Amino acid sequence: MTESAIDDTSDRRTGGGRRILVDSLERYGLLIAWAALIGLFAIFAPVTFLSWPTFSTIFGSQAVLVVVALGIIIPLTANDFDVSIANVLTLSSMIVGVLNVTHGVPILLAILVALAAGVVIGFLNGFFITVFRIHSLIVTLGMGTFAHGVTLWISDSITISGISMGLVKMVMIERLFGIPLAFYYAMLICALLYYVLEFTAIGRRILFVGRGREVARLSGIRANRVRWGCMMASSSLGAVAGIMYAGTTGAADPISGLSYLLPAFAAAFLGATSITPGRFNPWGAAIAVYFLVTGITGLTFMGISTFVHELFYGGALIVAVTLSQIVSGRQERF
């Protein structure tokens, strides 16, 4: 082997090693940033922040946000938006509250009705999007506003408390390793969604439709049916999040879900920069949720005013979308 051939082989190995390093940093960069953020707040607020009760509260209380973010990434993967999911959350939690508390309906039946409401809203979203070819952003915005109106109607615009302790125990009171069961429900949904998107034909179809609807259609994929199913799945997870919210607080608030929409979108786009860079993915979204919430919690413990929450989430959304576009563009070149 000549000297130049040896040099070429060495350069390829060096380049390959660098590429592997860059890929690893992209894939696990958000985890590294999360660990660094924890370390930073541990230095500035070691007594209040660095304790197991703090992290137990973060993991348990933010499980609802994780489920909302997971619901959002399903239509996003198919290149659609669902901004009605937060209102579905509010409506489903209120249905549980009104049926169980006001009308004395057993909690299990109330949960089933709430889930059915989520499925119906998803069905209607998909119907108007695919049949009348209206942009998903417009349809889900209108449907979300309609759902909010229904929520105010059935609740008389008041908070309903006293939801069955059976639900509260199964969501927030019962714990495993000191963490509420809500966290494990969210992780189970995350694992199931990861399996569907990565290892099933349905997941491949959703991805193909998101990359190019016309190409997918010409390939024999029923793109409209896939998009319709994604909207139904998203709203169904919104209903699940609402039921978990009712179990977390023991009450239903007519405006509770609105605060989840912006953080969920920020987590979805930020998560697309990690684990599977350039693609919306469940584990990336879940990690992004806890990264963002860790930042908010740490700033709160340091005595920062609550208005920083809006600045943090709004800024995070802009940065996340920018980073996801950069990563997505780089992935397409390889």
As a whole number of angstroms, the distance between CA 281 and CA 197 comes to 8
Name the 3-class secondary structure at 179. Answer: strand
Residue 304 phi/psi, 5-degree rounding, is -75, 140
What span, in angstroms and rounded, lies between the C-alpha atoms of 47 and 28? 28
Show the tokens assigned to 127: 């119907």
Concatenating the DSSP letter of every residue in 253-288 gives -TTGGGGGHHHHHHHHHHHTTSSSTTS--HHHHHHH
Q: What is the pTM of this model?
A: 0.90
Q: Between the CA atoms of 25, 49, 54 and 97, what dihedral angle is there, to the nearest 10 degrees?
A: -100
Question: How far are the Cα atoms of 139, 211, 227, 242, 328 from residue 206, in angstroms, in the given order?
Answer: 20, 9, 8, 25, 17
DSSP 8-66: HHHHHHHHHHHHHHHHHHHHHHHHHHHHHHHHHHHHHSTTTTSSHHHHHHHHHHTHHHH
Query: What tens-digit pLDDT sequence spans the chain (334 residues)?
Result: 555 544 555 545 555 666 676 677 778 888 888 888 888 888 887 777 878 888 888 898 899 999 999 999 999 999 999 999 999 999 999 999 999 999 999 999 999 999 999 999 999 999 999 999 999 999 999 999 999 999 999 999 999 999 999 999 999 999 998 999 999 999 999 999 999 999 999 999 999 999 999 899 888 899 999 999 999 999 999 999 999 999 999 999 998 788 899 889 989 998 988 888 889 999 999 999 999 888 888 877 777 766 666 776 777 777 777 766 676 655 544 4
Residue 54 burial class via C-beta count within 10 angstroms: exposed 0-12, middle 13-18, buried 19 and up: middle
- What structural domains does the chain harbor? 53-332 (1.10.3470)
